[in-house]
């Protein structure tokens, strides 16, 4: 069972209190973009074995969206952070580097 | 006032008592709770202290619960809600906020008895150990399959609120959790 700490209300919320929101930090390509970019935005997703970044919503709690970094192999949670960002916070990336040297996820590593 | 489903139910006497409360006035207030001018204006019409995250504050006139970083739920007696709403509206003036009378949106239940913590713990994924959850805290969560919120008034009394549309389900599942013979004796 996944337990994530909601960065907005600091509650340790259990998986059943949350709604998954898919992959984090997607960049939208809308009207006017190339077909390849649009296809990538719609369909191309990471499917990592290891470090992964996701969006979650504290649906049965404060109702806020937030981000979580976790390991898809061990289910270890590296941390959660605010939704108002386009990339994982630097100190969280450092924490992950300590625990999983050599990790990479999209352009981050 | 609408005819309340939950009011039709007599209190359930299990190893704790589950009863539907009389209608309660509720106001939803959304706005920037980190803004000082907003807080100052709010304090003019709200008599209690403002709650910090995941807390609820009470006085004789009202309770104020922290719903999310930008939302408060103000609980008053049912007949005073219009007056308070007008007062708040005036106090907040032209600031950016949303204030709505949601009295009929939710129902409230009182669960009372020595093992009230245990009955709630059966339904909600919340650590109710006495050193983790104390009176004065307010928690939005789920009870079984439905969204709800609860707080402890004392060690033997809790209040649970949920949407009116699922009131009967809430009453039934609280009653089931309180059925005599189903004691777990976790914290007694």
At residue A90, the 3 state secondary structure works out as helix
Report the CATH architecture of B24-101. Answer: 2-Layer Sandwich (3.30)
What's the rounded Cα separation, in Å, for the pair B74 and B52?
14
What token pair was written down for B61? 């006139």
Do residue A10 and residue B142 have CB atoms under 8 angstroms apart? no
pLDDT band at residue B7 using 50, 70 and 90 as cut-offs = low
For chain B, give the percent of residues with pLDDT over 90: 88
Q: Could you tell me if A74 lies within 8 Å of chain B, comparing CB atoms?
A: no
Residue B75 has pLDDT above 50, yes or no: yes
Region B67-96: mean pLDDT is 94
For B116-173, the DSSP string reads: HHHHHHHHSSS---TTTS-BTBEEEEEETTEEEEEEEEETTEEEEEEEGGGHHHHHHH
Which residue of chain A is at minimal alpha-carbon distance from B140?
A61
Ranges of residues in chain A whose predicted pLDDT is under 70: none
Domain boundaries of chain B, sorted by first residue: 9-22+105-177, 24-101
CATH of domain B9-22+105-177: 3.30.1360.120
Do residue A60 and residue B140 have CB atoms under 8 angstroms apart? yes
| CATH 3.30.420.310 at A3-99, yes or no | no
pLDDT of residue A1: 84
Domain boundaries of chain A, sorted by first residue: 3-99
Do residue B125 and residue A17 have CB atoms under 8 angstroms apart? yes
């Amino acid at each position: 069972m996944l337990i994530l700490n909601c960065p907005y209300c600091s509650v340790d919320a259990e998986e059943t209190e949350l709604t998954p929101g898919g992959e984090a930090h997607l960049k939208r390509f809308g009207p006017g973009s190339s077909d390849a970019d649009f296809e990538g935005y719609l369909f191309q997703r990471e499917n990592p074995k290891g470090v992964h970044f996701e969006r979650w919503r504290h649906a049965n709690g404060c109702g806020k969206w937030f981000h979580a970094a976790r390991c898809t192999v061990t289910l270890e949670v590296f941390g959660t952070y605010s939704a108002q960002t386009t990339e994982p916070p630097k100190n969280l990336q450092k924490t992950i580097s300590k625990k999983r040297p050599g990790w990479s996820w999209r352009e981050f590593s | 006032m609408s005819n309340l489903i939950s009011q039709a139910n007599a209190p359930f006497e299990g190893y704790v008592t589950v009863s539907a409360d009389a209608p309660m006035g509720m106001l939803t207030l959304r706005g920037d709770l980190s803004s000082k001018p907003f807080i100052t204006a709010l304090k003019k019409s709200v008599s209690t202290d403002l709650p910090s995250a995941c807390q609820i504050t009470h006085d004789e006139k009202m309770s104020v619960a922290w719903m999310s970083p930008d939302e408060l739920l103000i609980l008053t007696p049912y007949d005073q809600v219009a007056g308070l709403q007008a007062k708040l509206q005036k106090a907040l003036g032209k600031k950016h906020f949303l204030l709505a009378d949601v009295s009929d949106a939710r129902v409230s239940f009182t669960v009372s008895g020595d093992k009230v913590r245990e009955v709630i713990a059966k339904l909600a994924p919340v650590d109710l150990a006495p050193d983790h959850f104390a009176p004065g805290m307010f928690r939005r969560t789920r009870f079984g399959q439905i969204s709800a919120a609860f707080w402890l008034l004392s060690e033997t009394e809790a209040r649970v609120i949920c949407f009116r549309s699922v009131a009967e389900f809430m009453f039934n599942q609280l009653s089931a959790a309180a059925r005599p013979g189903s004691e777990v004796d976790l914290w007694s």
